[in-house]
Chains A and B, each alone.
Chain A
């Protein structure tokens, strides 16, 4: 920053202490807040019955994303700021940032966002994150396996590749499962991209053909083992694919995005009293309830990102007690060990330095 601008800012701070100048500005211009960056929904596009694309203009420019990454969107549900992560479906450099939200049955946030968002709505937004991306040098033989809303991160990749290096899509294979042809999000665009670039698009309609399993995949794509693969969809499909690649292929060649927060219906922790030492908050976690969910319900303001065990924004060091990672099933009980609070459930009483 130029020395003059820095001085002006310091002077403004001296006039607003103990608040910051932006605390005043953001009251009338919420998008200008640095503490809680926001974005305006400029346009809303209904893709299918339950999938909606939101076109967002962030108040301050976000760092450029890599295709396949997601952003967190924060919305107020009954007065409570509630965050979910959604894949970016626009290309880096597009004037507006697009995310595509699929209404999950019973999902408080996704349902409101997909069905209840009007242009002009303000949301809060976090920086793009996620490792489900293409490497800098695009592999020659690509395979995408997606199902349902799992199409979204791959759509971001396909749009970027089609625009910047369409040649790599020639010979690439995309296997997508959905209930019927009409349910396929971005269906017409996918088919157009395939026709234009030579991408081989295999649509599997599960209403008639049944769920995709590794055997049918190997039938559809005989040279699957020679390809670098990106897969996103329901947990069962990803589990099957992971097993298959571990058994018969190169596990390093399969990249998966588990796009669901962990569920804790089937208890995998015993619950217990969770103490957040730095926040000074204690909360009782139900059986299998992650530390973050318990802490937030008690009003703690905890570091949070994707809320599904991907981004590691929420990690904090254990001080005492043991937790189970709901995704890996591993137990962590070493003091000082960093655990992901969004997907770790306490096994008895736990203290964490957050």
Chain B
């Protein structure tokens, strides 16, 4: 029987949900009101570091026949590609930095080093995924249309191979996202025309071929006799970036403790309920400041999903506030280290390759860390929601 509330928020009344919404709105306003020169300096610095690493890495790789140059160049280029896609591309395309009114760093002018053209990706990601987060049948990011990641999805023998093709997805993640954005699944079910899909394929190809030429033809040719080693270096950097971003992104929504929702949840969803769905549908990664930057601050997936257009450098400072809200309202706040969370993702993919599956994968309450109410904080009255 589908219910409006999920499992973990079943105890909250409408009034409590509204109050929670207001508290989260206030957290957002607290950040937006204080955006200023320090934030602008931060993003400009990341741009500068990224461009420096990219230029430096590619220069080193012109001498890629020297083993040390290959290693250092590949490392610099890998980090540059990760920063470019995650802390810069993803976040700028979300409009997090539009407030600066800088045409150089703006969601409408930015293009990224990714197979998917920014315009196409913004639609599938910013609108579809962020609006319908973790709603089964609506959020196409749930399993990327090819994986069974909740027991509610009907089983099919093809899923037996999903632990294997997840490896391929990981290695070619940027291409998978570009292809996924064409929505072949919708073409198949007849809700999207072939012509539209073909036009989009052309758009992707027009952009992607330039990317391919740069990494796999032009820079290798410039390296002269080191052509092959530069090609392997560039392919390695792309692989590192793909595997890393796949891991971080899968840990955002698919580890244990993250809830998925029935479509009925969307009916008349209030702002507070929307916030709660984002909260319950996301999980954070723990780590140090450098780790957060390298994940594009998607390690703060919960904060990102609550406030997708708040600049990423601020997520770490609001995380304790959001966590406190969760504690006071008795909601889970899912967080763990990358190895731990990714382990649960892989285990889930393996288990759900077979029919059935425990309902802890998505339906049931998360393994919540016992949260002790802080003394002196008045808890909002918690009553069971009337049936």
Q: Which of A11, A28, A36, A76: most chain B CB closer than 10 A?
A: A76
Q: List the B side residues contacting A79 at CB < 8 Å.
A: 35-41, 99-100
Give 1 or 0 for each of A1-31: 1 = CB within 8 Å of chain B CB.
0000000000100111111000110111000
Known contacts A14-B218, A15-B218, A79-B37; A36/B104 CB under 8 A: yes
Q: Is the CB of A24 within 8 A of B214?
A: no
B108 at the interface (CB under 8 A from A): yes
How far apart are the CA atoms of A19 and B99 in the complex, in Å? 22
A252 at the interface (CB under 8 A from B): no
Q: List the B side residues contacting A17 at CB < 8 Å.
A: 210-211, 214
B58, closest chain A residue (CB):
A15
Taking the closest CB of chain A, its distance from the CB of B67, in whole angstroms, is 24
Q: Is the CB of A19 within 8 A of B100?
A: no
Q: List the A side residues contacting B40 at CB < 8 Å.
A: 76, 79-80
Taking the closest CB of chain A, its distance from the CB of B114, in whole angstroms, is 8
Q: Is the CB of B214 within 8 A of A15?
A: yes
Known contacts A36-B103, A301-B109; A23/B51 CB under 8 A: yes
A247 at the interface (CB under 8 A from B): no
Q: List the B side residues contacting A11 at CB < 8 Å.
A: 218
B367 at the interface (CB under 8 A from A): no
B48 at the interface (CB under 8 A from A): yes
Known contacts A15-B214, A18-B211, A301-B108; A78/B219 CB under 8 A: no
Query: Number of contacting residues on A, CB 8 A?
Result: 26
Q: List the A side residues contacting B219 at CB < 8 Å.
A: 15
Q: Is the CB of A301 within 8 A of B98?
A: yes
Q: Which of A23, A79, A82: most chain B CB closer than 10 A?
A: A79
Q: List the B side residues contacting A36 at CB < 8 Å.
A: 102-104
B44, closest chain A residue (CB):
A27
How many interface contacts (CB-CB < 8 Å) are there between A and B?
A: 75
How far apart are the CA atoms of A266 and B207 in the complex, in Å? 51
Q: Is the CB of A81 within 8 A of B108?
A: no
Q: List the B side residues contacting A14 at CB < 8 Å.
A: 210, 213-214, 218
The 8 Å CB contact of A27, one of B39, B48, B211, is B48
B95 at the interface (CB under 8 A from A): yes
Q: Which of B58, B102, B111, B211: most chain A CB closer than 10 A?
A: B102
Known contacts A18-B112, A18-B113, A301-B109; A80/B104 CB under 8 A: no
Q: List the B side residues contacting A76 at CB < 8 Å.
A: 37, 40, 100
How far apart are the CA atoms of A351 and B207 in the complex, in Å? 32
Taking the closest CB of chain B, its distance from the CB of A329, in whole angstroms, is 29
A279 at the interface (CB under 8 A from B): yes
B224 at the interface (CB under 8 A from A): no
Q: Is the CB of B52 within 8 A of A27?
A: yes
B113, closest chain A residue (CB):
A18
A296 at the interface (CB under 8 A from B): yes
List A residues 202-219 near B (Cβ within 8 Å): none
Consensus secondary structure, chain B interface:
helix
Q: Is the CB of A81 within 8 A of B51?
A: no
Taking the closest CB of chain A, its distance from the CB of B306, in whole angstroms, is 18
B40, closest chain A residue (CB):
A79
Taking the closest CB of chain A, its distance from the CB of B42, in whole angstroms, is 10
How far apart are the CA atoms of A279 and B119 in the complex, in Å? 12
Q: List the B side residues contacting A19 at CB < 8 Å.
A: 111
How far apart are the CA atoms of A11 and B214 in the complex, in Å? 10
Q: List the A side residues contacting B54 at CB < 8 Å.
A: 24
A33 at the interface (CB under 8 A from B): yes
How far apart are the CA atoms of A140 and B112 in the complex, in Å? 59
B106 at the interface (CB under 8 A from A): yes
How far apart are the CA atoms of A86 and B40 in the complex, in Å? 25
A25, closest chain B residue (CB):
B51
Q: List the A side residues contacting B71 at CB < 8 Å.
A: none
Taking the closest CB of chain B, its distance from the CB of A121, in whole angstroms, is 14
B36, closest chain A residue (CB):
A78
A279, closest chain B residue (CB):
B108
B42, closest chain A residue (CB):
A79
Taking the closest CB of chain B, its distance from the CB of A109, in whole angstroms, is 13
Known contacts A18-B113, A79-B37; A33/B104 CB under 8 A: yes
A19, closest chain B residue (CB):
B111
Q: List the B side residues contacting A78 at CB < 8 Å.
A: 35-37
How far apart are the CA atoms of A19 and B54 in the complex, in Å? 12
A20, closest chain B residue (CB):
B111
Q: Is the CB of A24 within 8 A of B218?
A: no
How far apart are the CA atoms of A26 and B105 in the complex, in Å? 13
Q: Is the CB of A18 within 8 A of B104?
A: no
Q: List the B side residues contacting A80 at CB < 8 Å.
A: 40, 99-101
Q: Which of B55, B108, B211: most chain A CB closer than 10 A?
A: B108
Other A-B pairs beyond A18-B112, A76-B40, A301-B103, 11, CB < 8 Å: A14-B210, A15-B214, A18-B111, A23-B51, A24-B55, A28-B48, A76-B37, A299-B98, A299-B99, A301-B101, A301-B106
* 4 A-B pairs with least C-beta separation: A79-B40, A299-B98, A18-B111, A78-B36
B-to-A contact residues, CB < 8 Å: 35-41, 47-48, 51-52, 54-55, 58, 95, 98-104, 106, 108-109, 111-113, 207, 210-211, 213-214, 218-219, 222
A-to-B contact residues, CB < 8 Å: 11, 14-19, 23-24, 26-28, 33, 35-36, 76, 78-82, 279, 296, 299-301
29 A-B pairs with CB atoms under 8 Å apart are A11-B218, A14-B213, A14-B218, A15-B218, A17-B210, A17-B211, A17-B214, A18-B111, A18-B112, A18-B210, A18-B211, A23-B51, A24-B51, A24-B54, A24-B55, A33-B104, A35-B104, A36-B102, A36-B103, A36-B104, A79-B38, A79-B41, A79-B99, A80-B99, A81-B102, A82-B101, A296-B101, A299-B95, A301-B106
